[in-house]
Amino acid sequence: MDILLKTIILSYLGCVLKYSFAANLDPIVQTQYGKVKGTLRNAIGSSRPVYSYFGVQYGRSPDYVFRFRPAEDPWTWDGVRDATNENRPMCVQDRVRLNGLRKDTYLKYLLPDNPLMSENCLVLDIFTPRSPNDTKRDNLLPVVLWIHGGSMDAFFSTTKLWGLPAFEDVVLVQIQYRLGVFGFLTTEDKWAPPNNAFHDHLKAMKWVQKNIEAFGGNPNLVTLMGESAGAVAATAHTLIPESKGLFHRVFATSGAPNSMVWPKTYGDAIERMAKNVSCKFDDNAYTSTCLRNKISTSRIMKLVKDMDINFKMLEDRDLFPVPINEAIETKTFVSSVPVMMGVMNGEQNYLLSRRVFSNIYLKGPDLTRSEAESALRNLFHDRYQSGNVDAILKAVTLEYLDPKKVGNKGMKLYKGTMEAIADCWFVSKSARFAEKVKESGQRAYFFEFTLKPAMYDARPKDFPRLFKFDTADHADDFPYMFGLPFVRELAGGDNPALYFSDIDKEISKKFMHLIAHFAKTGSPPEELGWPQYPRYAVINKGITISKDNFQSNRMYFWNEVIPKLAFP
């Protein structure tokens, strides 16, 4: 008995000492630009520590002289730079818009109420299960590079994503990149080139190639991953020559390159802005220099808001040699890599509808046919521009809003309208991208996420909804992808900020395993028997393979019938 007791005590002390040593270890890594010191995180239900590095610079501060220009490499530094502080600055954006995204959603628990914002925001976070003292470089881990969403003019990279490497053998890198006016203002020449936000992505991807091995990551196994606008960006990089060789897989949910409509030029907007602040000159060199050096960050933000200018990506031919729609349809993929595409079965339930289509969302069961058709007409004018909007509206009305099926007022009409918007905006574009990738000869997989997070019903006061649907809303997959049910600050303690059921936790583990396996092999786990698109998987209380092709009738309607009606 004494021997057994001693054995137990010694074993326990060994575990304590081992954990204490790890907990007190300063994880210091040498990057190309200098040394960084990180910290440790431990997820609920996982025994492996995650070495975490916050706010590591991948680009020089793009304010003033570097504003509206492609990112430059960061300055080198001496000594050890502290990368333990999670409160690194976010890229500058409209706080009102950001708070609108956070209101009544789980997103409010992922960052402080009044976060620090700065133009000096070209930083990334690294989460790795590999100790910096692990000198073995013969078994490097696949890398997942996360690009956050937010319509490319808002949102953030939360510091709570370390649940994924706590359970799976991957290194996770998440980046911050310039948004809105700072990411996309352009004079469309060398003085202020287009799409600097995308050049930020490229700079971060190049940083990964040069530095990630020191964190245990394999630079030859990089998966670009994004949701919503992040998915648009991740998939768009398959069409950009400069991105070739910097990544090897794409995992994208709720977005494809043509899910967003890109303006042709910002010439008039730039001219109006410049005149407003006395920076308008006949020479773009002088105009852009004035906007860079004379105008403060806050004044630029106020000016853009007052003038109601929304800066987003342009299809400049330096970045995109072939127009995006044409490139997809002709399968002109510069980077031919395996893709995993996903959509929610309720993309327009709440988050987007209350913001972008608030007039419809607030109407709900009181929505009338004329109001529904007016909203759809506006959407089609924006998306198809010079196309035959009357023909499109007539066809969509018959397909989604047949009076015999949905009536002229009520929830059926409301749901039909939202389904039409979701299919037009997200679903059909994601499906078409997968289809064309497969036709190009590369692997393409697809899933529909349908699990409604348990927190919505468990905490109705925290997540009020005018209308309750048993479907997954836009971004409802995010907590599962990154193991938020196992992050202590969110789900730990007796009264956690976020509630997750046992099913939520189980699906999160399966989802994380799916991501890690795809990042390593370019395919889903073999045991799932997951065929390529148009077959697909449904993720709900498990991952099941559908016997049918993905919404074949509706995908044919949007991807074959509508384009011919729009441009006969």
Residues serving a catalytic function are 228
Nearest to 56 by CA among 34, 40, 72, 41: 34
DSSP H or E run through 126 = strand 123-128
Determine the 3-state secondary structure of 471 from DSSP: coil
Give the count of beta carbons closer than 10 Å to the beta carbon of residue 382: 10
CA atoms within 13 Å, Cβ hemisphere of 16: 6
Q: Cis before residue 460, ω within 30 degrees of 0? A: no
Contact 58, 204 (CB under 8 A): yes
Q: Which residues contact 326 (CB under 8 A, 6 or more apart)?
A: 332
**Rounded alpha-carbon distances, angstroms, from residue 349 to 331, 352, 420, 470, 501:** 32, 7, 12, 10, 22
**% helix, strand, coil for the chain, step of 5:** 45, 15, 40
Determine the 3-state secondary structure of 307 from DSSP: helix
Contact 208, 237 (CB under 8 A): no
Pairing of strands 339-344, 249-253: parallel
Residues recorded for the chain: 568
Question: Which two structure tokens, joined as six digits, stand for 323?
Answer: 């127009």
Nearest to 258 by CA among 433, 443, 447, 434: 433
Nearest to 25 by CA among 47, 45, 50, 44: 50
